[in-house]
A and B are shown apart, each in its own frame.
Chain A
Amino acid sequence: MSVLTSNRAHFFSTSRTHPGAWWLAGLALSLSASLSSNLVALIAISAGAMFIVRLCRDNAPWSRSIRFYLFLGAIVVLLRVIFRVIFNLADATQDVFLTLPSISIDLGIGNSLHLLGSVSFLSIQAALVDGFRLAAIILSIGMANSLANPRKLLRATPGALYEIATAVSIAINLAPQLIASLKQVRRARGLRGHSKGIKALTGIIIPVLEDTIEQSMQLAASMSARGFGRKGNRTHLQLLLTRVSTFLTLTLLTVGVAMLLFSPVQQHVDLMVILAGLVFSAITLKLSSTRTTRTKYIVQRWQLADLFIVISSALILLAAFSGVFSK
C-alpha cells in the first residue's frame, strides 16, 4: 500500500491507473499485432510495449515479469526460424540463401518429410514475420500483466462474474496457507512411517484435503452469516431472460465462427454476425450483473490517464484494421 501513497507516483503510474485500462491496451496491441504482416510494425509494437512497461511500472512483484515475456518472445522467434529451416517447403525460387544437405524421413503418416535442403531468403523473412507476430502478441499481453495489479483487477470484475471472482480470490488467499499445510503434513507423515514412495501421497493429500474442506465450510459459514446469498429482487422472468440472452449470444458467436471458417467471404457477413454476438454479450453481461444487489464500497475510478490509454490503444487497433500495418 505504500506504493499508493508514494509521492513518486506519476500520471500513468500503475498505482493510479485502472488495471482494466492496461488490459484493454494489451488486448488492442496484441490484436493489432495479430493483424499485421509487416516486420517493422511488429517490432515497433514489441518495442512500444516494452517501453511503456519501463515508463509506467512501479516496484511491484508482478512488474518484473516482463523479462519472462521478453525471453519467451525471443525463444518464439528463434524457434520459428529454426523450424522453417528444418521443415522448409521446397520451392525452386531464385533467391536461395543457404543450401544444406537434405534428409528424408517417413513418419508413417502423411507425406514423407524432407528436412533441411535449400533455404530461400523470402522464407526466412516470412518466418521472422510469423515469429515476431507471436512475440508481439506475447509482449503486449505481458505489458498488461506487468502493469495491472491482479488483485485490483479481480476487484474490478463486473457483477456478473462476482461468484467466480469470489472463488478465485478465496483460492489466491488460501494458496500460501495450503503450501504451509502441505509442508506441515508431509513432515508429520514421517512420524507415522511409510514416508517414502508413492503410497505416501494419499497420506499427505487426505489430511490436507480434510483440513481444507473443514476450513472451507468455516469460510462458507462466515460468508453466509455475513449476508452472502441475499437475493436482490430478481424475478423468475429476469432469470429466464438472462438464460435466453446467453443462448442467443452463444448461438450468434458459433454461427459467426462457422461462417468465418466454412463459407467463402461475402462482404464480411460473418463478421457482422460475430459483431452482433459481441453486442449481445454486452447485453448478457449487463443482465446478469443486475441480478443481485450489492454495494461496491471501494471502486477504482477511471482517471483521465486511463481514458488516454484506452483511446490511444483504440486508435492503434483502428489503424491495424484499416491495414496500415500490413505490407
Chain B
Amino acid sequence: MIEIKNLSFSYLNAEGKQKSENPQLNRVNLKIEAGEFVLVCGPTGSGKSTFLQTLNGLAPNFTGGVITGELLINGVDLLGAEPHEFSHLIGYVNQQPEGAFVADLVLDEIVYSAEQLAISKEQIAKDVQRLSRLLGLEDMLDSPLATLSGGQQQRVAIAAALIAGAKVLLLDEPTSALDLQGATEVLTLLQKLAKEEGVSILLAEHRISRVIGSVDSVIVVHGDGLVTKGKPAEQFNDTRFAPPIIELGQKLGWNPLPISTRQAEQLWERAPAAFEPKTINQPSGIVCEVIDLEVTFGLVSAVKKTNLRLFGNQITALMGENGSGKTSLCWAIQGSGTRTSGGVKTSAGDPKSLSVQERLAVTTMVPQRAADLLFLNSLADELHESDTFAKVPAGTTANLFQKLTGRIDTSIHPRDLSAGQQLSLVLALQLVKDAPVLILDEPTRGLDYAAKRALANQLDLLRDEKRSVLLATHDIEFVAMVADRVLVLKEGLIIQDSSPLEVLGHGSELASQVAEVTNEPGLITIGQILK
C-alpha cells in the first residue's frame, strides 16, 4: 500500500533556511499494508502530525519545509505532489472535525471530494449509500452538521475522507475532542473499516490507552528524527509518553509490556510490588467559602445551590462529566462568570463585587483555552506586560516561568510555544498576581503524559499555606497524581466530597488505571509504588 524509503523532512528556520542539524524526520523507512491498523504516537511536539501530513502532501505544502526520499503509494512515487493529487488515494481527518467542514449539511460535506474529482453522479450515489450504511449516517444525511454530536461529526468526516475511493485513512487525534462514548464509537468503526473494507488506518493519538488494544502495530515518532514501527508491546521503551499501565510495566521490569488492563492485572497478581501510602497534605485555614451559589442560564440550571469551603495548602479536584457544571462553577467562584444567587467569601470580600484588578488579587484562573489570554507578539512582551500589571519587579514573571519550564528564548512568538509551554506561561502570568485562590479549568487537555507529569510537579511546587488550588478536570490519572481532595459534580450538584483514595480507588466508577490493575486499597498512582 504505502512504502516509505529514506524519507526526511525538515522545517525551515526564521530566515527560510533548512534546519538541517535537527530534521523532524530523518531517513525513515517503513511499509504499511492494506487493512493494517496502525497507531502513531510519540511525545507532544515530536512530529506525529507532521509525519502523517508528509504522507498526503500537506507537509511541506501547508507547513513549509523540505522533504526528500521516496513516498511510494501503490508503487508510484508521489513525493512533493500537492495534497489534491492524493485525495483519491488517501483520506485525511483532523482533530476538530467542525473546523475542517466545508459545507453545512451532512450530504454536501460527504460528497465534497467526489465532486472536486468530477466523479460521476451514479458512482457518488452508490458510494454515499455504502458509506452511510457502514458508518451509520443514513438517518442524518439531510441534517445540518452543527446539530450533530462530536462523535457523529467525526463519522461524517471519515465518510467524507473515503468517498473519493481512498484506501488509506490518516487520522490526526480524531478522538481528542470527544467524550469516552464518542471515542469508543469512532474507534469501533475504524476497526471495522480496517477489517471489512481493507482500509489501512494510521491513527495519531496521545491517549494511547484508549486505542492500544485494537491496533495491529505502532509507529513511534521519537522527536529526534527517528521513526520506528513494530508490535504494540515492543514499542514503548520511551517513558516520555507511555500510558500508566505501560509505565507501571516499565517500572516493575515486566516483559513483555502489558497493553491491556487484563494483562496488567494478571502480571500484578503474579508479582505484586510494595507501595507507600499516598501523601495527602493537611489543609490549613479556610481561604474561600462558597455560600448558596447558584448559576442558571435561561431555563438551564448549570449549578444548583452549592456550599463549599476551600482551604490553603490543598489541591482540590473538581470532577464530573461534560456538562455537569464544572466550568460554570469555576467562573462563578472566580467572580467574572454568571451567578444567579449566592456568594463567595474571601478575606478581601466577594470577588464578584471587586474591580477587575482587585478581583485578580484574590481569585485568578487559567481558562480552558489558555492561549486566549495571550495577545502580544513576543514572549518578552507578555512577560513584561504581566510584571507591569501585577506591579512586581521586572523579571518576576520571567523567573516564575523559567522555574516552571526551564529557559526559553523570549523573542519567540507566544503562539509558537507548545501547548504545555503555553499553559505554563499562562500559569506564570496568573501566579504572579499572588492570589490565594487559583482555579485551573481542564489544564491537561492536549498534554501528553510527560507534560502532565511536569504540570503535576509544578502544582506541587505551588503548595502554600495561604493558597488553595481548584482543579476542574476529568483526567482521572492526573487527579490521582496531584489532588488532596476530590469533589464530584453531577447535574450541577456536588454529590461527593472526599479523599482521592476513596473516589479513585478500586471499584469506584472513577477508579484510576493503577487502582483497577492492582486492586490494592490505598494505591491509586504509580508514584506510590516502590521499586
The answer to whether A and B touch in the complex, with CB atoms under 8 Å apart, is: yes
Report whether over half of chain A's contact residues are helix, strand or loop; otherwise say mixed. Answer: helix
Cβ of B515 to closest chain A Cβ, rounded Å? 35
Per-residue CB contact flags for chain A residues 33-73 toward chain B (1 = under 8 Å, else 0) read: 00000000000000000000000000000000000000000
B83 and A189 within 8 A (CB): no
A interface with B by C-beta (< 8 Å): 1, 4, 151, 155, 166, 169-170, 172-173, 176-177, 184-185, 187-196, 202-204, 206-207, 210-211, 215, 217-230, 232, 293-298
B197 in the interface, Cβ–Cβ < 8 Å?
A: no
CA distance A226 to B84 in the complex (A): 6
Cβ of A151 to closest chain B Cβ, rounded Å? 7
B92 and A225 within 8 A (CB): yes
B114 and A295 within 8 A (CB): yes
B234 in the interface, Cβ–Cβ < 8 Å?
A: no
Chain A to chain B: the 3 pairs with minimum beta-carbon distance, closest first: A227-B116, A222-B100, A226-B113
B94 and A222 within 8 A (CB): yes
CB within 8 Å for A224 and B101 given contacts A188-B373, A218-B94:
no
Q: Which of A191, A196, A202, A229: most chain B CB closer than 10 A?
A: A191
A193 and B389 within 8 A (CB): yes
A298: which B residues are within 8 A, CB to CB?
A: 107-108, 111
Q: Which of A202, A219, A224, A293: most chain B CB closer than 10 A?
A: A224
CA distance A166 to B101 in the complex (A): 12
Contact of B373 among A192, A218, A223, A297 (CB under 8 A): A192
Cβ of A103 to closest chain B Cβ, rounded Å? 53
A295 and B104 within 8 A (CB): no
B252 in the interface, Cβ–Cβ < 8 Å?
A: no
B102: which A residues are within 8 A, CB to CB?
A: 166, 169-170, 219, 222-223, 226
A166: which B residues are within 8 A, CB to CB?
A: 102
A169: which B residues are within 8 A, CB to CB?
A: 102-104
Report the stretch among B35-43, B268-276, B357-365, B521-529 that lies at the interface. B357-365
A217: which B residues are within 8 A, CB to CB?
A: 62
Per-residue CB contact flags for chain B residues 90-130 toward chain A (1 = under 8 Å, else 0) read: 11101110111111100110011111111111001100000
A225 and B115 within 8 A (CB): no
CA distance A294 to B164 in the complex (A): 13
Closest residue to A208 on the B side, CB-wise? B372
A227 and B87 within 8 A (CB): yes
Cβ of A135 to closest chain B Cβ, rounded Å? 34
CA distance A184 to B331 in the complex (A): 12
Closest residue to A226 on the B side, CB-wise? B113
B87: which A residues are within 8 A, CB to CB?
A: 225-227, 230
B367: which A residues are within 8 A, CB to CB?
A: 187-188, 191
B118 and A295 within 8 A (CB): yes
CB within 8 Å for A229 and B82 given contacts A219-B102, A221-B62:
yes
Closest residue to A213 on the B side, CB-wise? B415
B84 and A295 within 8 A (CB): no
B217 in the interface, Cβ–Cβ < 8 Å?
A: no
Contact of A224 among B62, B103, B115 (CB under 8 A): B62
Cβ of B373 to closest chain A Cβ, rounded Å? 5
CA distance A4 to B105 in the complex (A): 14
Contact of A218 among B100, B103, B111, B337 (CB under 8 A): B100
Contact of A195 among B103, B160, B356 (CB under 8 A): B356
Closest residue to B374 on the A side, CB-wise? A207
B313: which A residues are within 8 A, CB to CB?
A: none
A227 and B117 within 8 A (CB): yes
Contact of B113 among A173, A187, A227 (CB under 8 A): A227
CB within 8 Å for A297 and B121 given contacts A221-B58, A226-B112, A226-B164:
yes
A188: which B residues are within 8 A, CB to CB?
A: 367, 369, 372-373
Contact of B56 among A1, A172, A225 (CB under 8 A): A225
What are 8 residue pairs bridging A and B, where the CB atoms are less than 8 Å apart in the complex? Answer: A151-B104, A173-B104, A176-B146, A203-B375, A222-B102, A295-B120, A295-B124, A297-B111
